[in-house]
Structure 1
Amino acid sequence: MSLRLSTVILPYLRWHEGGRSGWQRAEQLGFHTAYTYDHLSWRTFRDGPWFGAVPTLAAAAAVTDRMRLGTLVTSPNFRHPVTLAKELVSLDDVSGGRITLGIGAGGTGFDATALGQEAWTPRERADRFGEFVPLLDRLLTEDSVSYEGNFYSAHEARNIPGCVQRPRLPFAVAATGPRGLRLAARYGQAWVTTGDPRLYENGTPEQSVQALRGQAERLADACADIGRDAATLDRILLTGFTPDRGRPLQSLDAFVDFAGRHKELGFTELVIHWPIPDSDFAAEQKVFEQIAMEAPAQLA
């Protein structure tokens, strides 16, 4: 089985000053999907330019033809299922059915308090996520939805004509805990992980591989619990957050070695960050493009 290679383009460039050309170049390089972060601001980029994911993806859809597009990831931190569903149906239409929704429970970053609320605890995030995903699934597959939950409500919410992709656009569910993995097993067309964050600072690549293997095994158990074949769920690794950090992007050989080890774990898609100078995602553009063009054939 071949390993797909995708990229994530952070939305920090003005559209006419490098933003547009990045998405077009990603398609030229042959990436399977180009994602963007769905944050209001993010980490070290907080005090600089940062643009919205949905309009960015709509613009990217207008200047590309084949490459899939998506979020990695959207969360309940500042999204509501009813309004998000309307935007997703619109994006899927504009793109001609090329949208994937990466979705997760959210974290404790700037998004968590931007609307004026206190940051939710891990349990509170999981509770909301457990309601958010099933409701969003209904909103994208039914013409009219009414629902009254503990956190979200919908009253005759309509999404006609629905998604171009049927029965709806795919969900790539980011999860590592038991509740999130159950959601991925039930509602996901793909599962997303960044590895074990506890290993980022002082862990080893070998420990990371073991942790990822454990996550994949727990996902398989969650699938088995509902009678789903785990092989029907794609597995996506968003790179850059394992102990390897940026080393796999230092050369083609280094990346092929890294990717091969993770392909053996059952991953079907690796996502690499588009290089950003003077950041955690700094990399040589020439090497990055060589990886994009040559690595997939070596990993087939």
Structure 2
Amino acid sequence: MRVSIWPGPVKTWNDIRATARHADDTGWDGVYVMDHFMPPNDVTHPGDHPVIEAGSAVAALAALMPRLRIGTLVLANTYRHPAVVANMAATIDHISAGRFTLGLGAGWQANEHEQYGIDLPAVGERIDRFAEAVQVVRGLLENTRTTFDGKYYRLNDATCEPKPVQERLPILIGAAGEKRMLRIVAEHADVWNCWGDPDLIAHKSAVLDRHCAEAGRDPGQIRRTAQALAVIDGAPPTGLPLPVIGGSVAKLAAAIDRYRAIGLDELIIPDVTLGQGAEKYKAMDVIRDLVQR
């Protein structure tokens, strides 16, 4: 099972770079960057919490880190035309010499859309747009010319050059919705991602398998990734709308073993509960050893 770090949401560029550098130097497999422009709606003063833009950050990390796999978790479809995303992805893949994973999602954070005047359609339309966008991105990354006549996106004999370094640049889709989003994963993704403890991921993964069977696709073609907040020592935080694993090294090891047992391919660890500076790096070393033992 692979292990990747996810510098969390309100960090300076120097902190993101240093965390990625420690991961690159100490045997972690990857680093992911989120795609937001500000903290979520429930932050009282979002302007006090600056956020680094994802596309610029992953391009820089791709150039600076010699070994780590670099990914987005995940680019919101509402913020960029999918043809722009395809060109970004191909360029970053060249910068990284073939180490980029393109994470995509339908988009959701209301305050960013409100402040920037970006449309945030109802959920159903957002998913419809996303289903088309994934096809546009895949076509541009792989075909010499792409024509697409959808309801929301239209391309006419379009090019995207240069093509990625990787023969098939992996598209990761972040999805939890069991009826439609996991169906899109089954049809189009190389990698699936979801927040969840081992029991939830096992359930969602079984749903994805059923969608793969209905779509005529081998479920083994889709790698499974998940993340949860990790606590090394102390009581896990309560009241958070996110899954938390650990509380002690033994409990964290047990949770990691459970992820491994359900067939998870990659565990992604947000760093927001790991402390700062040397404390964080020590926690990262413990987690790496638990996953790679």
Query: What displacement does 1:133 show?
Result: 0.7
Report the equivalent of 1:162.
Answer: 163
Q: Which runs of 5+ in 1 are unaligned?
A: 196-207
- In 2, the alpha carbon distance for the partners of 1:108 and 1:287 equals 33
Query: What displacement does 1:71 show?
Result: 0.2
Q: 1:252 aligns with which of 249, 252, 260?
A: 249
Report the equivalent of 2:66.
Answer: 65
Q: 2:217 aligns with which of 222, 228, 250?
A: 228
Report the equivalent of 2:193.
Answer: 192
Give the share of equivalent positions with the same residue, in percent. 28
- In 2, the alpha carbon distance for the partners of 1:147 and 1:232 equals 25
SS in 2 for 1:55: helix
Does residue 1:46 correspond to 2:46, yes or no? yes
SS in 2 for 1:107: coil
Q: 1:237 aligns with which of 214, 220, 226?
A: 226
Query: What displacement does 1:287 show?
Result: 4.5
- In 2, the alpha carbon distance for the partners of 1:189 and 1:59 equals 24
**Structure 1 pair 209/5, CA: closer, same or farther in 2 (3 Å)?**
closer
SS in 1 for 2:138: helix
User: Which amino acid is the alignment partner of residue 102 of structure 1?
Assistant: G
User: Which amino acid is the alignment partner of residue 29 of structure 2?
Assistant: H
In the comparison of the two structures, how many residue pairs are matched? 279
- In 2, the alpha carbon distance for the partners of 1:133 and 1:13 equals 29
Query: What displacement does 1:247 show?
Result: 4.4
- In 2, the alpha carbon distance for the partners of 1:156 and 1:209 equals 44
**Structure 1 pair 282/108, CA: closer, same or farther in 2 (3 Å)?**
farther
Does residue 1:295 correspond to 2:290, yes or no? yes
- In 1, the alpha carbon distance for the partners of 2:92 and 2:65 equals 13
**Structure 1 pair 56/118, CA: closer, same or farther in 2 (3 Å)?**
closer
- Contact kept, 8 Å, 2:87 with 2:161, in 1: the verdict is no
Question: How big is each residue's C-alpha offset from its partner over 1:49-99, in whole Å with a ceiling of 9 and x where there is no partner?
Answer: 211111111111121111100100112121211111111110000000000
SS in 1 for 2:73: strand
- In 2, the alpha carbon distance for the partners of 1:135 and 1:283 equals 43
Query: What displacement does 1:276 show?
Result: 6.4
Question: How big is each residue's C-alpha offset from its partner over 1:228-260, in whole Å with a ceiling of 9 and x where there is no partner?
Answer: 221221110121398784442x44323211111
SS in 2 for 1:270: strand
**Structure 1 pair 286/25, CA: closer, same or farther in 2 (3 Å)?**
closer
Does residue 1:22 correspond to 2:19, yes or no? yes
- In 1, the alpha carbon distance for the partners of 2:74 and 2:278 equals 22
Report the equivalent of 1:103.
Answer: 104
User: Which amino acid is the alignment partner of residue 172 of structure 1?
Assistant: L
- Contact kept, 8 Å, 1:105 with 1:126, in 2: the verdict is yes
Question: How big is each residue's C-alpha offset from its partner over 1:172-204, in whole Å with a ceiling of 9 and x where there is no partner?
Answer: 111222221122112211111113xxxxxxxxx
- In 2, the alpha carbon distance for the partners of 1:117 and 1:13 equals 24
Query: What displacement does 1:20 show?
Result: 2.4
User: Which amino acid is the alignment partner of residue 54 of structure 1?
Assistant: G
- In 1, the alpha carbon distance for the partners of 2:39 and 2:131 equals 24
- Contact kept, 8 Å, 1:130 with 1:179, in 2: the verdict is no
Q: Which runs of 5+ in 2 are unaligned?
A: 231-239
Mapping of residues 208-219 of structure 1, within 5 Å: 209-219=198-208
TM-score, normalised to structure 1, is 0.83
Does residue 1:175 correspond to 2:193, yes or no? no
Query: What displacement does 1:277 show?
Result: 7.9
Segments of 4+ moved more than 6 angstroms: 241-244
Question: How big is each residue's C-alpha offset from its partner over 1:267-288, in whole Å with a ceiling of 9 and x where there is no partner?
Answer: 111100124688xx99941552
Report the equivalent of 2:79.
Answer: 78
- In 1, the alpha carbon distance for the partners of 2:118 and 2:242 equals 35
TM-score, normalised to structure 2, is 0.85
